[in-house]
Amino acid sequence: MTDKLKPLRDQIDAIDAQILDLLNQRAKVAQEVGHVKAETRAPVFRPEREAQVLRGVAERNPGPMGGREVQTIFREIMSACRSLEKRVTVAYLGPSGTFSEQAVFQQFGSAIETLPCVSIDEVFRAAEAGTADFGVVPVENSSEGAINRTLDLLLATTTVISGEVSIAVHHSLMTKTGTMDGVKIVCAHSQALAQCQVYLNLHYPHVERRAVASNGEAARLASEDASIAAIASEMAGEQYRLGVVQAHIQDDPHNRTRFAVIGHLHTNPSGDDHTSLVLAVPNKAGAVYNLLAPLATHGVSMTRFESRPARIGTWEYYFYVDVEGHVQDAHVARALEELKHNAAFFKILGSYPVSL
């Protein structure tokens, strides 16, 4: 056994030496890129370039390593290289252990500074004021729909969307003891309680459900009180040393949440992008139909359409529309130019690479 392992491990050692050498060669080039960027005051984080690198490695990957795993490794390589240029600070809805934090690492890798915030409003404030270089905020959940506070703040603030991240949301029921003995309350963010309601109705119909600021906060509360169970990610459970009563309790096994990366960076085209807009129309028959007609005329596909009351006392709405393509793509630019003429209100929230 040992005799057979030794030569294989020697091979791995030799390959690791080569990988290490190549990683540092790459890091030195990134440092040079950093100097060029510093001279021209160009932004360090370039989501379109990172998306192209990650798509490229997955396409060229001959295996046996999986495409996802290769992307995870290259995400970290780029994060480490980027941190030699500048360590970006990213604000998110904390505390640590939330799905928002998971989205932050999925987008930026781990060589960053994080700024956990107590509310979505605070994430926007940090990104708008420049306390953080970027913010990561939830936009929509596949089972519960839009996160209204985020939609309102995208409209009201000067931040733009520079990127998007989509993550699988798996909720676990967890307690200090790993059992439900003596548990009187289940705590979680209101969205998580809603996403697990069928499970809770079936198994724990008589246990009180209490909405708290985040699932991370729920995990923290459960770690201090054995009569409280938390619904949160297993990552949060590990952090607060909770035992898993039941994993994957979300009603929809394909439950996903989409997050927006917000800041002041106008991302360049990556070749596979989305553009987000907010629109309003005069309150008359056929107005929405006419508003969107230029998209069809110019072959621009709509991937999302959401409405929010304008909250000015009349039955008027803002429409949140996502389309395929980048504002710099000629057909998208032509469609938006026409659409703008039909709209009573028109705001481009940003163009950014489609999430991996």
Ligand X SMILES: O=C(O)C(=O)C[C@]1(C(=O)O)C=C[C@@H](O)C=C1
Q: Which residues form the catalytic set?
A: 257, 259
Task: For residues 26 and 81, give the distance between their C-alpha atoms in angstroms, rounded to a whole number.
Answer: 8
Which residue lies nearer to ligand X by CB, 82 or 220?
Answer: 82
- Smallest gap from Cβ 280 to ligand X, in A, equals 35
164 lies in the binding site for ligand X (CB under 6 A): no
53 lies in the binding site for ligand X (CB under 6 A): yes
Cis ω for the linkage preceding 95 (within 30 of 0): yes
Interface with ligand X in residues 81-100 (CB under 6 A): 81-82, 85
User: Do 200 and 207 touch, CB atoms closer than 8 A?
Assistant: yes
- Smallest gap from Cβ 113 to ligand X, in A, equals 15
Which residue lies nearer to ligand X by CB, 45 or 124?
Answer: 45
Among the listed residues 164, 133, 157, 136, the one whose alpha carbon sits nearest the alpha carbon of residue 43: 133
What's the farthest any 2 CA atoms get from each other in the chain? 81
30 lies in the binding site for ligand X (CB under 6 A): yes
Q: Select the span of 49-57, 131-139, 246-254, 289-297 touching ligand X (CB under 6 A).
A: 49-57
Among the listed residues 356, 294, 284, the one whose alpha carbon sits nearest the alpha carbon of residue 321: 294
Q: Select the span of 57-65, 76-84, 117-125, 242-250 touching ligand X (CB under 6 A).
A: 76-84
Considering CB under 6 A, how many residues would be counted as binding ligand X?
A: 11
352 lies in the binding site for ligand X (CB under 6 A): no
**DSSP assignment letter at 212:** -
Tracing tokens 């029921």 back to the chain, one arrives at 173
Among the listed residues 161, 96, 106, the one whose alpha carbon sits nearest the alpha carbon of residue 134: 161
Task: For residues 262 and 276, give the distance between their C-alpha atoms in angstroms, rounded to a whole number.
Answer: 12
Tracing tokens 């791995």 back to the chain, one arrives at 12
33, 137, 212, 235: which one binds ligand X (CB under 6 A): 33
Task: For residues 198 and 248, give the distance between their C-alpha atoms in angstroms, rounded to a whole number.
Answer: 13
78 lies in the binding site for ligand X (CB under 6 A): yes
55 lies in the binding site for ligand X (CB under 6 A): no
- Smallest gap from Cβ 329 to ligand X, in A, equals 21
Task: For residues 93 and 107, give the distance between their C-alpha atoms in angstroms, rounded to a whole number.
Answer: 15
- Smallest gap from Cβ 161 to ligand X, in A, equals 17
Which residue lies nearer to ligand X by CB, 33 or 229?
Answer: 33
Task: Please report how many Cα atoms fall inside a 13 Å half-sphere around the Cα of residue 294, on the Cβ side.
Answer: 16
Which residue lies nearer to ligand X by CB, 61 or 177?
Answer: 61
Q: What are phi and psi of 263, to 5 degrees?
A: 175, -145
Q: Which residue is nearest to ligand X (CB)?
A: 81
Cis ω for the linkage preceding 64 (within 30 of 0): yes
Which residue lies nearer to ligand X by CB, 6 or 35?
Answer: 35
Which residue lies nearer to ligand X by CB, 57 or 207?
Answer: 57
Q: Select the span of 75-83, 136-144, 227-235, 339-347 touching ligand X (CB under 6 A).
A: 75-83
133 lies in the binding site for ligand X (CB under 6 A): no
Residue 106 CA: distances (Å) to CA of 22, 40, 110, 172, 355: 23, 28, 8, 20, 10
Which residue lies nearer to ligand X by CB, 81 or 153?
Answer: 81
- Smallest gap from Cβ 33 to ligand X, in A, equals 4
Kindly tell me the sign of the dihedral angle through the C-alpha atoms of 94, 100, 101, 102.
positive
Q: Beta strands 317-324 and 208-211: pairing type? A: unpaired
Q: Is 285 left (phi over 0), alpha (psi -120 to 50) or beta?
A: beta
120 lies in the binding site for ligand X (CB under 6 A): no
- Smallest gap from Cβ 324 to ligand X, in A, equals 23
- Smallest gap from Cβ 105 to ligand X, in A, equals 15
Give residues in contact with ligand X (CB under 6 A).
Answer: 30, 33, 45-46, 49-50, 53, 78, 81-82, 85
